[in-house]
Amino acid sequence: MAKGVWKLRRLDELGFVGRGKSRHRPRNDARLYGGAYPFIQTADIMAADPYITGYSQTYSEFGLQQSKTWPPETLCVTIAGANTAKTAILKFEACFPDSIVGFIPDKTKADLHFVKYSLDLMRKSFLSVSRGATQDNLSLDKLLSFPIATPDVNLQKHIGEILSTYDELAENCRRRVQVLESMARMLFHEWFVRFNFPGHDNLAFIDSSLGPIPAGWEVRKVVEFVDFIRGTEPGSDTYSNEPGSDRIQFLRVGDLSKRDSDIFIPVELADGRILSPTDIAITLDGSVGLVQFGLSGAYSTGIRKVVVRDKSRLGWSFSYLLLSSKYVRATIQAHAKGATIKHASSALPVLEFVSPPVVLMERFEDLAAPLLKQILSLQDIIRNAHRTRDILLPRLMSGQMNGRVLLESK
C-alpha cells in the first residue's frame, strides 16, 4: 500500500458535503417536534458506533419545513459541543441540525466506510483547531481544510470492508444485548409489578404504601439491604489518555452509557474505589439515575457502587432491574437538586421496593441472572471487536499493512 499512489482530496471532492438545517428560532419551540420525521441530534451520534439506528426526537410538519431530510447511508459528523468530530452512519431518512455535517459519497470516488474511518483517525487534528472559550466548534471550512489521503475506490472499499466487519460484529452483539435485556425486564415486570409470578393464582392482596401487594410480601427500604459506595476524584491533573501497568481506567458519569473511558489515573489514586464487570453502578450527580453493569475501573464521585449486604433478599439481577426501573429513576430525578449540576443522594433513603419471599427471589435469579451474564459475554466481544478495529485502523491507513495484496488476493 505505497503512500505515493494515494491522493490528497478534500471531503467535498469525494462527494456532497453540507450542514444540517434548523433555521427556526427559538430551537425549543414545541411546534417543531412530536411528528413523524426522525430528528437526529449530536447525542444520537455519540451513542452510535458506527450506525445510527435509533433516535429520541422527531420533527413535526412545521419542523420539517424549516429543515431538510438526508437519505440513509449519509455520514454524519458533529461540529459543535463536547462531542465535536464524532462520526456515525445514518441508516434511515432523517433531519439533523446545523451542528451536524452530512456527507454523501460519490461512489465513483469514495467509499462511505473508508471516509468515516479516515475522519475518525483525524479526530485529534480536528479537535486541535476547534477549541473555543465556551464551546468547541469545528466549522465546515475547518473540516474541509484537512485533506483525506485516498487510494483508488476499489482499495477504499476493501479497507472499509475489513474495518466495518468488526463494527458489524459489535452491532450484531448490541442487538442481542437489547433482546436479552428486554427479556429480563419483561420477566421482572411480570413477577414484581404485575405480580404474575408462578403460584400467583388465588393469592390475596393487602394494601401498602406502594399499592396492593401479595399477602406475605412487604415494602422495604432499599438502604436496608444495600450500601452505595461513592467514588473518588483524584483531580484532572492526574488524568492521562495513555494506559499503563501502573494506571487504571477512570469512569466518569458520562462514561456509563458506553461502558468505557479514555481517561486513566494512577492505581493508588483509585483509593480502592474500583468496579468489576458484575458490579452495579448508579449515578447520583450530574446525569442522575443512570444504572449500569459490565464496567471495569476506578469511578468518580458522581457514581455510586451498589453493594448488596443480603443477597437472599435482594439478588444481583433483581437489584439491577429494580434500580434501573422507571419508578426508581423517576424518584431519583425528583430528588435532584442543583442549578447547574444535579445532586440526588437524598433520594436513597426514600427508595422502596416490594420484597418477595426468599424462595421466589432465588427462583427469579435462576431465570434472570443467565440472561444478564450473557450480556456480559457479549460486551466482551464488543470490546474486543472495537479493540481489533482500532489496532488495524492506523495500520491500514498508514501503509503498514499491504492493502493492495489483500485486495488482489480477495
pLDDT in tens, 213-271: 999 999 999 999 999 999 999 999 999 988 888 999 999 998 887 788 889 999 999 99
Mean pLDDT confidence for 132-158 = 86
pLDDT band at 410 (very low <50, low <70, confident <90, very high): very low
DSSP assignment of 348-407: GGG-EEEEPPHHHHHHHHHHHHHHHHHHHHHHHHHHHHHHHHHHHHHHHHHTSS-HHHHH
Read off the pLDDT band of 405 (50, 70, 90): very low
**CA pseudo-torsion sign 185, 231, 286, 88:** negative
What domains, with CATH codes, occur in the chain?
9-150 (3.90.220.20), 152-203+358-410 (1.10.287), 218-355 (3.90.220.20)
* pLDDT at residue 5 greater than cutoff 70: yes
State the distance between the two ends of the chain, measured CA to CA, in whole angstroms.
Answer: 15
Calpha distance 174→293 (Å, rounded): 15
CA-based radius of gyration for the chain = 24
Is the confidence at residue 82, as pLDDT, over 70? no
Q: In this model, does residue 149 exceed pLDDT 80? A: yes
Tens digit of each residue's pLDDT (9 = 90 or more) over 302-354: 999 999 999 889 999 999 999 999 999 999 999 999 988 899 999 999 999 99
| 90 vs 261, residue with greater confidence | 90
Tens digit of each residue's pLDDT (9 = 90 or more) over 343-355: 999 999 999 999 9
pLDDT for 105 beyond 50 = yes
CA angle, 15 as apex, 9 and 20 as ends, to 5°?
A: 115
Q: How long, in residues, is the chain?
A: 410
Q: Which secondary structure element, helix H or strand E, spans residue 52, and what is its range?
A: strand 51-52
Name the phi and psi angles at 384, rounded to 5.
Answer: -65, -40
CB 281 within 8 A of CB 339: no
Cα 339–chain centre separation: 25
Q: Does the predicted model carry a pTM greater than 0.85?
A: no
Mean pLDDT (the chain) is 91
